[in-house]
Amino acid sequence: MTKLQLAKNCIIDSKKLFLGHVGIAGTTGAGKSRNVAAKLLAECLAKQPSAPNGVRYAYVVVDTNDEYVGFTDRYPGQVVVFSPDATRGIPFRITSKNITIDDLSMFLREVTKKQLSKAELAALYMAIDELRAKGDYTLEQLYTRLYELEEYSLLPAFEKIMATNIFAPEETPLKLLARPGQASILAIGGYSAEVQAIIVAHLLRELFLARKNNEIAPCVIFLEECSVFAPEGELVPSSEILKSIATQARGYNFILVSIFQRSSMTSKNVLSQVGNWFIGKTGNPTDRQAILRNAEKIETEHDKVIKNLKAAKQFLVTGFIVETPAVVEIPDQKILLSKGGRIKPTVIEATFRREDMTEYVAKIRSLEETEQKRMKDDIARLRSEREEKLKVPVIPKETRKELSHLKTELQQTQVRYQKALEGLKEKEKAADRKARERFEATIKEQQAEIERLTRQVAIAGAGAPEEKSVWEQDIVKHRLKPLSEKQRDLVIFLERSGPSAAEKVAPTLGIAPKTVTAYVSEINSKIHGLVAFDEHKGVYHSRITELFPIQQSESSKDHERTLAEVVQLRQDLRHAQEAAATKTAEAAKLEQERNQLVKQLDSGKREDEWAPVLEELDSRLAGMVKLLGKVEG
Ligand SMILES: Nc1ncnc2c1ncn2[C@@H]1O[C@H](COP(=O)(O)OP(=O)(O)OP(=O)(O)O)[C@@H](O)[C@H]1O
Ligand SMILES: [Mg+2]
C-alpha cells in the first residue's frame, strides 16, 4: 500500500485512488492544474505506487497548455517532455505509414474546417489505392502522388498537416511514452482544439490497445480540457476512445485523471465513470448540478460547500478514497509553468541525450530528413516537368514570318470582304433595278406590238372580200362536174401546188404513183387537155385557167396581198409572244437568283463562313452580270 499525501489532512491510499478513474473539477482558476493535478503527479513520482499486478504506474500528461513542462526542472530524471515540435521536446509522432482514408479525411476536414468534396475524396482514394498497391506509403508520398495527379485543391491542407509535424513515417514508440515510475508530458499547446483532439484520440487508442495487450505498464493518464476532448452532446475525434476508456479501462489498470472546467459540458460517459473526485470552487450552478449528480457520496447540501470553496486552495474530496466527503487544502505546488510555458533549453538538450531516447531521436531525425529530401526532390521534379509542359514552344523564324504574313493577309482579306459585301449589295440593287426597267420596257413593247398586230389581223380579216379559188367559181365547178371526186381533187391539187411529179401527187390522193397516168388520161378523156404532162420535166400541171379563163379583179389581187400580210403578221405575233415568254422566264430566274443571293449574304455574315461565301457571291455576281448583259443584248 502506497500512501499519497495530498494535503495535511489528506493522505490517501493509491490502490483506492486508482481503483477507478479520477475527476478534477472546478471553475477556471480553481487550482485544478497547479494545485491538485500537480500535487497528485508529484506525489506519484515521489512514492511510485504500483498497480495491483505489482508494476509501477507510468504517467502520461496531455498538456494542452504546456504548463506541465515545468516538471522537467523538478524531476529531471523522471520526466520527459514530448512534443510534435522538436524544439520543445522529444519528437512526438503519429505514423502516417498507411494512414487510412478515414483518418486522413478526418484530419483534412479538421484542418480545412470543411467537408471534402466528392472529387477530392475520389482523388484521395485513387492516390491511396495506387500507393497501397506498391506497398507501404507515407503522407509525403501521398502528397507527391496528389501533386502528380494535379489534385492541387487538397495540397494546402496537406501542407498544413505536414507543418504540424505530427505525422511521420515512424511512430513514437509507446514504450518510450509509458515508462513505469516515470512521466511523459505531451506538450501540445498552440495546436487547434481539432488537431489536439486528433492527437489525443490517436495517443489514447494506441496506449489503451497496448495496455490491453500488456505491452506497456499500467498507466495513469492526466487529461486536461476533458470538456473539449469528451464534450457532452457532440462528437469529436476523441469522443469514442474516451467513452471506451471510461467504461472499460479500469480493469486494465489504465486510469484516466480527467480535468474539466465545465462539468455540465463534459460527456456523461466520462463523468459517470469517475470514482474519485477532487472538486474545486465551482461558480456555475449547472456545473455543480452535474457534479452532484455524478460524484459518489455527495448530497445536495454539498452544493453550497462547492460554491463557497476557496479558489486555488480548497477542494472537496470524495469517492473511494474517503469515508465521507471532506474539504482539504492543497496549495499551488509551484511546479507548473504559466500556460504556454517552455522547457529550458538545457533540459531539452539533456533529454535528447538520455540513454533511452538517443536511439529513437536519431532514427526519427534521419527518417524525416530522408523523407523530406525525397519529397523536395519529387516536388522539384514535378515542378520542372510542369514548367516544361507549360513552356511556350519555340516557333522557327520562318514559321513566325509566315504566320505574321498570314495574319496581315487575313486582315486585308477581311477588309476586302467587308468592302465586297457592301459593293455587292449596291451592285445587286442597281442590277436589279436596271434589269427590272429593261424587262418592263421590253415586255411593254412586246405587249404593244402584240396588241397592234392583233388589231391589224382583225381589221385585215374583216375588210377582205370573200375569197374564192378558181375551182370554186360556179362556172368552173359546173365544167368539172363530169369528173369523179378523186379526179377533181387531182386537178385542184395541181392547180393549188403547181406542176408536180406523180410521186408528189399520188400520196395526197391515197393512190399509187403508177396509177396517176391512168387517172390523168381518164380526166383528159372527160375534159380534153385538162391535165398536161411535161415530158421534159416529168411533171403534171392543171390547165383550168387556160381552158376556163376567169377575169381576176383588182380587188381580188388586193385581197391576196392582205391575206399574205395577215399570215406574216400571225407569224410575227407568234414570234413576239415567244420572245416575251422567254424574257419573262429569264426575269423570273433572275428574281430567284437575287433572292438566293440576299439569303446567302445574310448567312454569309457569319465570320467563320465568310471566305467560301465571298467566293460564291463573287461568282454569282459575275454570272448575274453576264446574264444581264445577254438579256440587254
Ligand atoms: N504562473 C502562475 N504563477 C502563480 N500563480 C498562478 C500562475 N498561473 C495561475 N496562477 C494562479 O493559480 C491559480 C490556479 O490556477 P490553475 O491554473 O491551477 O487553475 P485551473 O483550475 O487549472 O484553471 P484552468 O481551468 O483555467 O486551467 C489561479 O487562480 C491563478 O491565480
Ligand atoms: Mg488548469
Are 340 and 38 contacting, i.e. CB atoms less than 8 angstroms apart? no
CB-CB contact of 628 with 434 (8 Å)? yes
Ligand 1 pocket mutation, candidates 69, 309, 332, criterion most atoms within 8 A of CB: 332
Terminal alpha carbon distance of the chain? 136
Half-sphere exposure of 153 (CA within 13 A, CB side): 12
Query: Taking CB atoms and a 6 Å cutoff, what residues make up the pocket around ligand 1?
Result: 26, 28-35, 261, 280, 311-312, 332, 338
Question: Under a CB-based contact definition with an 8 Å cutoff, are residues 314 and 353 in contact?
Answer: no
Distance of CA 193 from the midpoint of ligand 2 (Å): 15
Shortest-distance Cα residue to atom 8 of ligand 1 = 338
Determine the residue of 34, 63, 287 to mutate for testing ligand 1's pocket, defined as the one with the most ligand atoms within 8 A of the Cβ atom.
34
pLDDT digit string, tens, across residues 81-113: 999 999 999 999 988 887 888 888 888 887 888
C-alpha cell at 304: 453550497
CATH number given to 474-547? 1.10.10.10
CATH class entry, domain 3-89+177-365: alpha beta
* Ligand 1: centre distance to CA 73 (Å): 19
| Shortest-distance Cα residue to atom 27 of ligand 1 | 28
In the block, residue with C-alpha cell 472499460:
248
Cell numbers at 70, concatenated: 515545468
Query: If you search the block for the grid coordinates 400571225, which residue do you land on?
Result: 570
Which residue CA neighbors atom 16 of ligand 1 most closely?
31
CA of 36 to the centre of ligand 2 (A): 10
SS3 sequence of 97-126: CCCCHHHHHHHHHHHHCCCCCHHHHHHHHH
pLDDT confidence bin for 467, thresholds 50/70/90: low
Ligand closest to 25 (CA) is 1
The closest-lying atom of ligand 1 relative to the alpha carbon of residue 30 is 21
Ligand 1 atom nearest to CA at 35:
18
300/288 Cα distance (integer angstroms): 10
Protein residues within 5 Å, CB atom, of ion ligand 2: 32-33
Amino acid at 341: G
Beta bridge partners, 314, equal 329
For 366-425, the pLDDT digits (tens) are: 998 998 898 899 889 988 888 888 876 666 677 777 777 777 777 777 777 777 778 777
Give the residue from 322, 288, 323 showing the smallest Cα distance to 305.
288
Atom of ligand 1 nearest to the CA of 38: 18
Cα of 244 from ligand 1 centre, angstroms: 30
For residues 37 and 222, is the Cβ–Cβ distance under 8 A? yes
Q: Residue 494: exposed, middle, or buried by beta-carbon count in 10 A (0-12, 13-18, 19+)?
A: buried
Q: What is the 206 CA–ligand 1 centroid distance (Å)?
A: 31
Counting from 1 in the atom list of ligand 1, the atom nearest the Cα of 336 is 1
Per-residue cell: 212: 490491453
Residue 605 — pLDDT band, cuts 50, 70, 90? low
The top-scoring range by mean pLDDT among 61-70, 110-119, 194-203, 464-473 is 61-70
Q: Do domains 3-89+177-365 and 474-547 have the same CATH topology?
A: no
SS3 content of the chain, % helix, strand, coil (to 5): 60, 10, 30
Range of lowest pLDDT (54-68, 226-240, 588-602): 588-602
| Average per-residue pLDDT for the chain | 86
What is the C-alpha separation between 370 and 194, in angstroms, rounded? Answer: 29
The CA distance from 19 to 252, in Å, is: 11
Give the closest residue (by CA) to ligand 1 atom 28.
Answer: 29
Please tell me which of 41-55, 410-424, 427-441 the model is most confident about, judged by mean pLDDT. 41-55
Q: What is the pLDDT of residues 338-357, one digit of tens each?
A: 999 999 999 999 999 999 99
Please give the pLDDT value at position 310. 98
Cell of residue 188, nine digits: 501540445
**Residues contacting 401, CB < 8 A, separation 6+:** none
Full-model pTM:
0.64
Cα pseudo-dihedral 625, 628, 630, 633, rounded to 10 = -120
Ligand 1: atom nearest CA of 280 is 21
Per-residue three-class SS string for 139-181: HHHHHHHHHHCCCHHHHHHHHHHHHCCCEECCCCCHHHHCCCC
* CA 390/CA 353 separation, integer angstroms: 50
Per-residue confidence (pLDDT) for residue 379, from 0 to 100? 87
Distance from Cα 350 to the centre of ligand 1, integer Å = 28
Measured between alpha carbons, how far is 206 from 289 in angstroms, rounded to an integer?
34
**CA 90/CA 182 separation, integer angstroms:** 15
Grid coordinates belonging to 619? 461568282
Domain boundaries, the chain: 3-89+177-365, 94-164, 474-547
Say whether 317 sits in a helix, a strand or coil. Answer: strand
Residue 213 DSSP code:
T
